[in-house]
Amino acid sequence: MASTTVESDEGLVRYEPALSLSGVVLGMSDVEYHARPELSSTGARLLLDSPARFKHRLDHPIKGAALDLGTITHALVLGTPDPAQVIEGGRGKTEREREARAAGKIPVLAEDYAVAQGMAEAVLAHKRARFLLEQDGHSEASVFATDPETGVKVRARFDRLLGALSVDLKTTSGSASAQGFGQSAARYGYPVQEAFYIDALAWATGEQRAPMQFIVVEKAAPHLVAVHQFDEAVRLVASELAAKARRIYADCLAADSWPGHGDDVIYTEIPAWWFSQNEEVEEVTF
């Protein structure tokens, strides 16, 4: 199904809905989604580091305040049910946290909830971010598909699906600038996440999608916001890496083996910036 775009008076492109919902699941809870066995983009990124790390994370899921804050911020921005339950600190805090989680809520201190609210308000005050979020589409859309090359079953959960593209919200403790988010994207494998998601969506719906756009908001006040998109060179490499991760997963499953970094000596891969930074270093003699 084709999609159309309309240019607004402010020069922003409105993406008319044209998404086939075949293969897209709406309304699935976070708990149900994350309990599914299919390979996720997080798993794919761990596999690229080492299958052993992937297997350990699979057996020992991590939780933390940073993840909770991001989840709450997503809900406030996307307009999905707020999972937060504000609690007081001091004596009895641990018991109140247990009670909140038992009720399916995320316990959060008032000062931390204020940070999430500040980030959400900053996103919604950003012209392009708000414009994207106001397009007709679906929040927290889950997709399940099978990689035709390897037979690996995959899953992806989109923050926001529009007619022509998808939108992902990222909170960052660093900078939302081009260089700052570029460093975060490289460190956390966000290009691989995009490639993994776009592949899953294409397999599930039979339709290709435009590049993902990332709404990035800084955790520290004044909560600066920027909208990012990876260029074609980055996306091509990421697509190859996502496919490589699925092949690694298929091989590990078949062999029931999850290796680490190996027993042989390996050459350290020093980043390019180290060489350029030290080009002018003079030889020192004693």
Task: For residue 105, give both structure tokens.
Answer: 């809520």
As a whole number of angstroms, the distance between CA 73 and CA 223 comes to: 12
At what angle are helices 190-205 and 178-188 packed, to 10 degrees? 70
Per-residue model confidence as pLDDT tens for the chain (286 residues): 334 343 444 455 444 444 455 678 998 988 899 999 999 999 999 999 999 999 999 999 887 777 889 999 999 999 998 999 998 888 888 899 899 989 989 999 999 999 999 999 999 999 999 999 999 899 999 999 999 999 999 999 999 998 768 999 999 999 999 999 999 999 999 999 999 999 999 999 888 777 899 999 999 999 999 999 999 999 999 999 999 999 999 999 999 999 999 999 999 999 888 998 887 765 555 5
Domains of the chain and any CATH numbers = 5-61+70-82+112-257 (3.90.320.10)
- Provide the whole-model pTM: 0.86
Per the rule left: phi > 0, alpha: psi between -120 and 50, beta: everything else, 126 is beta
